[in-house]
């Protein structure tokens, strides 16, 4: 990855931060993006650059806004001369049954989790095709392959991301640009911590018990998928081993989809 430029959307926290770290460790220059405290983001940016001797910039595009997504890609191209890898990772969660699911939450979730990957992909493709090489890695989810109650918007968005992955792969199959999706099961991040807290409240149990229950309900291994496993998988998708792999999904879910 030395000298390559990688955009990771939603990389101020959780999986995105870990993926940015994984690419930086392999020598890539990084474009960070995401919400959060400006001082903490700047500290993380500087630390990542210093740790790996790479260039790291931050762009604060709100992934709910197509114009800002376009600006993010143009800024990356302007600064580094091109974008080699786009990781569509930014995502939010909201859980409620359909009949009382707030419509504004539906719109926001679909915008950030599904439309943003479309807008970012649309913006990076011309440059990648011109240079004859590019990798688009979509962080979907098991929710892109199966349903779960109370997650209509998230499941619909992630199924959409899997569909977008297929079409992006097909449309660019002979261009040197591949597009694949990683479908993690449970990964211990702030997005899941909220769900563990909700579960503990609902069931009147401890956080430890709710964590165990959440895992064992769906992820037969009983273990979280780790940041390292996700980073290595994203790097694999950018390696020559995956040159002829496109439009498909890799699940890292401890056996969840086999049940």
Reduced to 3 DSSP states, what percent helix, strand and coil does the chain have, rounded to the nearest 5?
55, 15, 30
Task: State the minimum distance, in angstroms, from the CB of residue 111 to ligand NAD.
Answer: 8
Task: State the minimum distance, in angstroms, from the CB of residue 254 to ligand NAD.
Answer: 11
- Measure the CA–CA gap between 70 and 82, rounded to whole angstroms: 14
Q: Does 192 bind ligand NAD (CB under 6 A)?
A: yes
Q: Does 36 bind ligand NAD (CB under 6 A)?
A: yes
Count CB neighbours of 159 within 10 A: 18
User: Based on CB atoms, which residue is closest to ligand NAD, 49 or 173?
Assistant: 49
Q: Does 15 bind ligand NAD (CB under 6 A)?
A: yes
* 58 catalytic residue (yes or no): no
Site string for ligand NAD, 134-163 (x = CB under 6 A): -----x-x----------------------
Q: Which of these, 246, 237, 243, 218, lies nearest to 19 by C-alpha position?
A: 237
In degrees, to the nearest 5, what angle opens at C-alpha 17 toward C-alphas 81 and 128? 30
- Measure the CA–CA gap between 66 and 116, rounded to whole angstroms: 7
User: Based on CB atoms, which residue is closest to ligand NAD, 29 or 89?
Assistant: 89
For residues 249 and 140, is the Cβ–Cβ distance under 8 A?
yes
Q: Does 57 bind ligand NAD (CB under 6 A)?
A: no
In the block, which residue shows the tokens 């959307």?
9
User: Based on CB atoms, which residue is closest to ligand NAD, 122 or 129?
Assistant: 122
Q: Which residues bind ligand NAD (CB under 6 A)?
A: 10-16, 33-36, 62-64, 89-92, 112, 139, 141, 184, 186-187, 189-192
Q: Which residues are catalytic?
A: 154
């Amino acid at each position: 990855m030395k000298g390559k430029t990688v955009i990771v959307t939603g990389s101020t926290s959780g999986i995105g931060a870990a993926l940015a770290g994984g690419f930086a460790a392999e020598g890539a220059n990084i474009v960070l993006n995401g919400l959060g405290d400006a001082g903490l983001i700047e500290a993380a940016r500087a630390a990542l650059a210093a740790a790996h001797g790479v260039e790291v910039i931050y762009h604060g595009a709100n992934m709910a806004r197509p114009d800002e997504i376009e600006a993010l890609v143009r800024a990356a191209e302007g600064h580094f001369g091109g974008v080699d890898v786009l990781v569509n990772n930014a995502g939010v969660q909201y859980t409620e049954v359909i009949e009382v699911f707030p419509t504004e939450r539906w719109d926001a979730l679909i915008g950030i989790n599904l439309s943003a990957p479309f807008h970012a992909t649309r913006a990076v493709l011309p440059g990648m095709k011109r240079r004859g090489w590019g990798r688009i890695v979509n962080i979907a989810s098991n929710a892109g392959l199966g349903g779960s109650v109370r997650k209509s918007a998230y499941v619909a968005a992630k199924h959409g991301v899997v569909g977008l992955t297929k079409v992006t792969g097909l449309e660019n199959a002979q261009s040197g640009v591949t597009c694949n999706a990683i479908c993690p099961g449970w990964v211990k991040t702030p997005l899941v911590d909220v769900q563990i807290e909700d579960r503990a409240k609902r069931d009147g149990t401890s956080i430890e018990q709710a964590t165990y229950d959440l895992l064992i309900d769906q992820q037969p291994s009983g273990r979280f998928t780790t940041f390292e496993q996700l980073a290595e998988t994203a790097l694999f998708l950018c390696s020559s081993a995956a040159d002829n792999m496109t439009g498909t999904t890799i699940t890292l879910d401890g056996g969840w989809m086999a049940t």
